[in-house]
Amino acid sequence: MVAYLFYAKDSPMERPVGHLLDELGQLHINTHLVEADSRAGANLAELYDIMQRPAVVIATDDGAVIQQWQGELPSPEDISYAMHA
């Protein structure tokens, strides 16, 4: 499984997303930071129907969504729980 963290560059949420990324790294959670306004990020955001940022998507290795949060950041514990449920 993987956790995708969608953010907008130079937004007020860029720093909190970075902190969440660090905390998830300490928990050994496979995480990908996605700049939602980049070409690749926009394609991934469209695939997962991301309408608000920040957003977090927990997906299986084949892309199936397990859990999704939009417009707010979940706690590292919530992400860890979703990854291991």
For 2-58, what is each residue's pLDDT tens digit?
999 999 999 999 999 999 999 999 999 999 999 999 999 999 999 999 999 999 999
* Residue 85 pLDDT greater than 80, yes or no: no
Tell me the domain boundaries of the chain. Answer: 2-84
Q: Tell me the whole-structure pTM to 2 decimals.
A: 0.93
Q: Distances from the Cα of 64 to the Cαs of 4, 7, 67, in angstroms?
A: 12, 20, 9
Quote the strand ranges of 8-83, DSSP E.
31-35, 55-59, 65-70
| pLDDT of amino acid 1 | 94
| pLDDT of amino acid 84 | 87
Going by C-beta distance under 8 Å and a sequence separation of 6 or more, which residues neighbour residue 78? Answer: 69
Neighbours of 23 (CB within 10 A): 16
CA-CA-CA-CA torsion sign (41, 17, 72, 67): positive
| pLDDT of amino acid 24 | 96
> Domain 2-84 is in which class?
alpha beta
Using pLDDT thresholds of 50, 70 and 90, give the confidence band for residue 64.
Answer: very high
